[in-house]
Amino acid sequence: MTMSSEKQSTSDTYSYTSVVEAVGVLYNNSNGNGHLSKESASQWLDGFQKSIYSWQICNDILQHNTDLSCCYFAAQTMRSKIKYQFHELPPNTHHDLKASLFSHLNSQSRTSPQVVTQLCLAIADLALQMVQWRNSLQEIIVTLSRDGHLMDNLLEILFVMPEEINNKSLRLGQNRRRELIGEWDQHRLELLDFF
């Protein structure tokens, strides 16, 4: 693995293996090759999180359920990417991202509450920013209420969505906010059943 504090922009710099190794150094004090300090791992991971490659690699880490530290890092990165860099993804990939997040939530729901919280926030932020996701609230309710072990996750998403809609760091215009509030108003009786 080639890690340095210098920024490199090729996809060869960032790989599944190099990210897992860097996370191991940062969170678990594991240093397989002996050449990587916590500080350099942190700097390298910061660069990775800002790169376009982090979308796919973090998705792969969550899909393979690598380990708790890696899954937390990947979920946190996905949430951050959706919140601050959603514009990087072409619109034709948004539905695949949505499907992946639901899949990861399903597979992670019985593991770490910290990972699940990051995934719930990612889904909430995606629902708010993904304009082509019509009736997002209804789809979230239907998808997560089918399986009893996902009800806590559904409640977490329902709890954070109203908070996130007012989050100034999300790129939401006033028209989008009004559209979402109107959608939620249509489902207010359903929502009351959950609280």
* CA 1 remoteness from chain centre: 25
| Residue 101: predicted pLDDT | 97
Could you tell me which residue, 62 or 109, shows the higher pLDDT?
62
Among the listed ranges 57-71, 106-120, 181-195, which one has the minimum average pLDDT value?
A: 181-195
Show the tokens assigned to 110.
Answer: 């019985």
| Residue 170: predicted pLDDT | 85
3-state DSSP: the chain helix, strand, coil percent, rounded to 5?
70, 0, 30
Q: Is the pLDDT of residue 32 over 70?
A: no
Could you tell me which residue, 120 or 134, shows the higher pLDDT?
120
Q: Is the pLDDT of residue 29 over 80?
A: no
- Tell which residue, 103, 32, 118, has the closest CA to residue 71: 118
**What is the DSSP annotation of 5-24?**
SS---STTT--HHHHHHHHH
Show the tokens assigned to 17.
Answer: 């293996």
Q: Is the pLDDT of residue 108 over 80?
A: yes
Separation of alpha carbons 67 and 63, rounded Å: 11
Q: Is the pLDDT of residue 66 over 50?
A: yes
Mean predicted confidence (pLDDT) in 86-91: 94
132-185: pLDDT as tens digits? 998 899 999 999 988 788 889 999 999 999 899 988 888 888 999 999 999 888
Mean predicted confidence (pLDDT) in 38-56: 94
> Sign of torsion, CA 54 57 62 67?
negative
Among the listed ranges 29-43, 112-126, 148-162, 172-186, which one has the minimum average pLDDT value?
A: 29-43
| Residue 72: predicted pLDDT | 96
Residue 62 near residue 78 (C-beta atoms within 8 A): yes
